[in-house]
Amino acid sequence: MVTQQDSPYNWGMVVDVDRCTGCQACVIACQAENNVPLNTENLYKEQRTYSWIRVERYWEGEFPDVKARFIPIMCQHCGNAPCEPVCPVFATYHNNEGLNVQVYNRCVGTRYCAIGCPYNVRFFNYWEPVWPEALRNQLNPDVTIRSRGIMEKCSFCIQRIRRAERVARRDDRLVADGEIQTACTQACPTNALTFGNLKDPDSKVSRMSKDRRAYKLLDEKIGTDPNVIYLARVEEKAEAVHG
Amino acid sequence: MADKVSRRNFLSMVGASTTGAVLFVACSGIPDEEFIVQAPVDLPEDLVKGRDNWFATTCGVCDGGEGVIVRVMEGRAKKIAGNPDFPVNMGKQSARCDSALQMLYHPDRIAQPLARVSRGSDLNPISWDEADSLLKRWVGSGSVTVATNPLRGHLGKVASDFAGKFGGRHIQFDALEQGVLHGAMKTVFGTDRLPEFDIANTQTLVSFGADFLGTWISPTNFSVKYGEFRQGENRANRGKLYQIESRMSITAAAADKWIPIRPGMEGEMAMAIANVIVGDGLVSDGNIARYTANLPDGTLAVFDLATVSGRTGVSEDTIRDLALDLAANGPGLVIGGGSAGAHTNGSFNLAAIYSLNILIGSVGTEGGLFLNPDSPWDGVPSSAAGASFDEWERELSEWRAGNVNTVILRRADIVRGLPRSVNVQQALDNVPNIVAFTDVLDDTSALADLVLPEASFLESWGTEIPEPAPGYQTVGVQQPVVSPARTRDGSRVLSDARAFGDVLLGVAGGDLGATSMKDLVEEAVSALFDLDRSASSITAPTSGLFMRGALQRGGWWDRDGKAASRPQDAPPLANTHSTPEFAEAAGGEGEVFYLQPFSSIALLDGRFASAPWAQSTPDPITSAAWTTWAEINSSTAKRLKISRGDKLIIKSTTGEIEVLAYPHVAVPPDVIGIPIGQGHENSGRWAEGRGANVLSILVDKKDAVTGALAWAATKVRVIRTGLNHEIARAEGSVDAFEVEPQFPIAVVRPGESAKDAIHAAEERHDTYADPDDK
């Protein structure tokens, strides 16, 4: 019987919506770290941009009593990921550290996973990514450039996770809380994003996940069991009416 | 709750064939660990040769003076992140930081010096030796103007000293000049250095026009504190933010209450708040005495609630509630800037706004504001603001009169940034020698006779004195962190660029006290070592080790090096002009609107326009990118039959631009908001010919006190063209639908759990949704 090796890690993220200002720092930091192809004007118009993390804006009310609310959305790294069982070639699978992993070399581009994902966080490479030669100087050598015809998505900056785990193994210890920062959590100027090990009861994300404001997107409805936990926005006169 | 079907359960239900296959293979003796789906040996990070290093330096593009760390492999910069040590941004960054990499490796960077044989002829490559000798000859004839972006630290000193040596002046340019803000600081607090805003510990924060979370002054610094203001672990209560602004910026969006106000009336609202607080005795007698000490009798009475409400468009209740909250729920903090200071009464507005801090006792107290100390270096500028529009008009008249022989430009795109009415191009035509330092040709450097490729801040030595400082003496040290940028195959240098400061020092021939910026930096750091401060961020036995520490940490700071922040009397506010005047709109067809230009979150005033990451960053409010749009109230748009993407002509008395309409609900009905940053004729392949330059249609109204350009004081007509184009925008790329109440942004009242809030919402939703079921 195949069993996954037990791991001391279950990587997860907490997003405090009450801190988020929608500033887009996470979006660009992610693109820089992960060699996300340039989102040209045409890609926007064709609605085929790549954004492993995006900030959604929701309106509520009418002028002058109007609010704009922001929420960062990235791969939720679901424990019960709808994208995983539909992949005919096992290009996307769940690893023993709680990550929803995309194996680029296996992907044959059926896009079933993107259809299955209720969070719309998987992106298909319709074209070969192109950078002017000079700009290729700044590409991150730790991250594969995805070729045409395959899916890509947030990996929780797996290259940073692997690096920290290697160092920890070398030092014969576990990765310490706060030792790994994904590019988005590192950039976020309001500290709205926190990354860590949900298996460690003392980690910051574990503590935050028990906050009264904690909720998971769609989990109660479709049971995706995400590893991304949101903390609700606080408003004095909160009305549950959304536009 | 829906039944959960896990993938593993699903697999087990699918049938035994899969399991059987696995068992079969397993029986062949291959250990379980071989079934790890992705072999670690194939991970790309394991294939990477070489070792990365992170170097600390100081960002040289934004205005705040943030500390950054840069990941470098084989001499190439790979990633920029905030320097976790640096007290200004504390490891954090904005959406703009990484774009500096694309400016470093921009394919349109100028490769070598360029010169024209005669005005109007093409630019041709020349050697640095030829460029040096040309520059020496030109500046040797005297009457030199050095025009730069606002410069602090040693580069600012070098530029000023250089201009002084060659019989000229150093003038600074900032399209959205902050002179009014600095002037207000001087008026209210007696120093033009910007103070430290203790947002993290504030309970009631009131901001007039300052988009401090997006683009104003030092947004990363403010955002770090804002996070604590909302949900800091050590806070008793979540802070409350009021944003008074004529358009919805991301700060207004983040606010607990956004108060749209008639443009230019922010000062009057501040006075009305003071009127309530003083009239009702909501603060101590001492505070009231300090606030009213220089106020002529009857001043506040003019700003009664009914009058101000009528003039500002803000209800009496709103003003009163805000005043009560500010006085009762301290510590409070009041800040102002941006559009609030960009009117003919800008100085009055900001003085009235900042004086409220004296009234509520927030000067020098936790959660309030702290005055910042001077630079640790004598004679080195620690504060910088662009020259006023008045000063620029005077300077350009000197150019027109033929009184200036040589203009040296550095990151001062005045052709694009100053209003058309002053006709910069015509003034430049009368300057015999124009020299421009730049990375990519912009609209002003494209007119230069001599174009010199300037090194990026990632390739240069320098110092920075952040503004605002964190309440104590802080300096950033800038060092070259990459090898000169080369083409990817390494065959040639991408740009044979030199640092602006190094070239000036070289031309001055040692007369400015050093021959290179590196020497100046080493001297400056050595001077810090000699201060021998007990709370210094670096302790080292020798000057050399101290220098190494400064480079490793990206700067130096002394937490004891503070300025005295004592309670003081407010200025005589009634002596300044209080009512805004607007440049009336051009005649003809179309409805008249207040024009509200605003800094783009990614491009700022256009300085990042050459970088594709900056171009492609979605605007948080509209999600638009790569273009210029006009934000217009959706009801107004409906009345005028304007739809999203309609091409509009925006017409002032000095010109017109074409932009695409973006109607939404968060714009006052009489305001049209247009981002600054696009409309470059030059600036590289990703910026040229894209969008429109809203600065070009501003009318030359000025702040009555400082002579600064009142860039929010123009009225325009909006005319439909009948054409429609798609706006490049992020929204709509995925379907938006309400899957469940409170999805995806749950909102709770203080103390309420998300679970309770969501279930309560579901119950309400069911009640509303299924009335026929009962």
Asked if the model's pLDDT at residue B379 lies above 80, the reply is: yes
Q: What residue type is A98 in one-letter code?
A: G
Same domain, B144 and B214: no
Domain count, chain A: 1
Same domain, B617 and B699: yes
Tokens 């990519």 map to which residue?
Answer: B440
Residue A236 lies in a domain: no
> Which helix or strand (DSSP H or E) is residue B480 part of?
none
Q: What is the pLDDT of residues B259-315, one digit of tens each?
A: 999 999 999 999 999 999 999 999 999 999 999 999 998 899 999 999 999 999 999
B5: left (phi over 0), alpha (psi -120 to 50) or beta: beta
Q: Which of A88, A128, A126, A94 is nearest to A108 (CA)?
A: A88
Residue B568 lies in a domain: no
Asked if the model's pLDDT at residue B722 lies above 80, the reply is: yes
Cβ–Cβ < 8 Å for A21, B254:
yes
Residue B730 lies in a domain: no
SS3 (DSSP) at B222: helix
- What is the average pLDDT score of chain A? 93
Same domain, B421 and B291: no
Residue A240 lies in a domain: no
Same domain, B197 and B238: yes
How many other CB atoms sit within 10 Å of the CB of residue A92? 25
Q: What is the reported pLDDT for B45?
A: 56
Same domain, B208 and B354: yes
Q: Find the residue in B nearest to A67 (Cα).
A: B253
Residue A38 lies in a domain: yes
Q: What is the reported pLDDT for B739?
A: 55
Interface mutation target, options B25, B59, B665, B755, chain A, most CBs of A under 10 Å: B665
Q: Which of B169, B171, B167, B164 is nearest to B513 (CA)?
A: B164
Cβ–Cβ < 8 Å for B174, B607:
no
> What's the burial of B56, exposed, middle or buried (CB within 10 Å: 0-12/13-18/19+)?
buried
Asked if the model's pLDDT at residue B46 lies above 90, the reply is: no
CA distance B388 to B418: 11
Token pair of A107, please? 């992907």
Compute the radius of gyration of chain B from its Cα atoms. 29
Token pair of B214, please? 């997006």
Cβ–Cβ < 8 Å for B344, B698:
no
CATH of the domain at B329: 3.40.228.10
Provide the chain A residues 93-112 that lie in CB contact (below 8 A) with chain B.
93-95, 101, 103, 105
Residue B6 lies in a domain: no
> Which residues constitute the domain of residue B607?
591-724
Q: What is the reported pLDDT for B51?
A: 82
Q: Test A238 with B749 for CB contact under 8 angstroms.
A: yes
CA distance A12 to B397: 62
Same domain, B280 and B323: yes
Q: Find the residue in B nearest to A213 (Cα).
A: B754
**Residue B352 confidence class, pLDDT cut points 50, 70, 90:** very high
Q: Test A59 with B213 for CB contact under 8 angstroms.
A: no
Residue B620 lies in a domain: yes
Tokens 């006779």 map to which residue?
Answer: B449
Asked if the model's pLDDT at residue B564 lies above 50, the reply is: yes
Same domain, B187 and B325: yes
Domain count, chain B: 4
For the residues B683-710, what does the mean pLDDT come to? 96
Q: Test B747 with A238 for CB contact under 8 angstroms.
A: yes
Same domain, B364 and B418: no
Same domain, B119 and B145: yes
Q: Which of B501, B456, B467, B461 is nearest to B385 (CA)?
A: B467
SS3 (DSSP) at B10: helix
**Residue B114 confidence class, pLDDT cut points 50, 70, 90:** very high
Same domain, B191 and B154: no
Q: What is the pLDDT of residues B468-478, one digit of tens each?
A: 999 999 999 99
Q: What is the reported pLDDT for B735?
A: 56
Is the CB of A188 inside 8 Å of chain B's CB atoms?
yes
Q: What is the pLDDT of residues B458-505, one digit of tens each?
A: 999 999 999 999 999 999 999 999 987 777 677 778 889 999 999 999
Q: What is the pLDDT of residues B120-167, one digit of tens each?
A: 899 999 999 999 999 999 999 989 999 999 999 999 999 999 999 999
> Which residues constitute the domain of residue A211?
11-231
Q: What is the DSSP code string of B549-570?
A: HHHHHTEEEETT--------PP
Write out chain A residues lying below 8 Å of B618, CB-based.
Answer: 24, 27, 54-55
Asked if the model's pLDDT at residue B560 lies above 80, the reply is: yes
Cβ–Cβ < 8 Å for B244, B209:
yes
Q: Test B668 with A90 for CB contact under 8 angstroms.
A: no
Q: Tell me whether the omega of the peptide bond preceding residue B331 falls within 30 degrees of 0, making it cis.
A: yes
Q: What is the reported pLDDT for B763?
A: 81
Closest-CA distance, B669 to chain A, in angstroms, reads 9
Q: Test B745 with A233 for CB contact under 8 angstroms.
A: yes
Q: What is the pLDDT of residues B577-636, one digit of tens each?
A: 689 999 988 889 999 999 999 999 999 999 999 999 999 999 999 999 999 999 999 999
Q: What is the DSSP letter of B640?
A: T
CB nearest A232 (choices: B81, B733, B748): B748
Sheet holding B555-558, edge to edge: B462-464, B473-478, B555-558
Q: Test A240 with B665 for CB contact under 8 angstroms.
A: no
Residue B82 lies in a domain: no
- What is the average pLDDT score of chain B? 90
CATH of the domain at B438: 3.40.50.740
Same domain, B187 and B161: no
Q: What is the pLDDT of residues A80-125, one digit of tens each?
A: 999 999 999 999 999 999 999 999 999 999 999 999 999 999 999 9
Asked if the model's pLDDT at residue B452 lies above 70, the reply is: yes
Residue B557 lies in a domain: no
CA distance B686 to A40: 9
Q: What is the reported pLDDT for B493?
A: 82
Q: Test A215 with B746 for CB contact under 8 angstroms.
A: yes
Sign of the dihedral through C-alpha B626, B627, B631, B637: negative
Write out chain A residues lying below 8 Å of B223, CB-based.
Answer: 21, 23, 189-190
- In chain B, what percentage of residues exceed pLDDT 70? 90
For the residues B87-101, what does the mean pLDDT come to? 96
CATH of the domain at A16: 3.30.70.20
- In chain B, what percentage of residues exceed pLDDT 90? 81
Is the CB of A128 inside 8 Å of chain B's CB atoms?
no
Phi/psi for B718 (5° steps) reads: -115, 120
What ipTM does the predicted assembly reach? 0.96
Compute the radius of gyration of chain A from its Cα atoms. 18
Q: What is the pLDDT of residues A180-237, one digit of tens each?
A: 999 999 999 999 999 999 999 999 999 999 999 999 998 888 999 999 999 999 998 7
Comparison of pLDDT for B63 and B640, the residue scoring more: B640
Across the A:B interface, residue pairs with CB atoms under 8 Å apart total: 355
**Residue B760 confidence class, pLDDT cut points 50, 70, 90:** confident
CA distance B755 to B742: 10
Angle between helices B500-508 and B128-140 (to 10 degrees): 60
CA torsion angle for B516, B517, B518, B524 (degrees, to 10)? Answer: 120
**Helices within B249-386 (DSSP H only):** 250-254, 266-279, 285-292, 305-312, 316-328, 346-359
**Residue B558 confidence class, pLDDT cut points 50, 70, 90:** very high
Q: What is the reported pLDDT for B744?
A: 82
Angle at CA of residue B345, ends B342 and B349, nearest 5°: 80
Q: What is the reported pLDDT for A4?
A: 62
Residue B211 lies in a domain: yes
Same domain, B405 and B450: yes
Residue A145 lies in a domain: yes
Residue A6 lies in a domain: no
Cβ–Cβ < 8 Å for B454, B410:
yes
Residue B533 lies in a domain: no
Residue A86 lies in a domain: yes
Interface mutation target, options B14, B32, B37, B660, chain A, most CBs of A under 10 Å: B37
Angle between helices B346-359 and B179-189 (to 10 degrees): 40
Token pair of B469, please? 């400082």
Q: What residue type is A102 in one-letter code?
A: Q
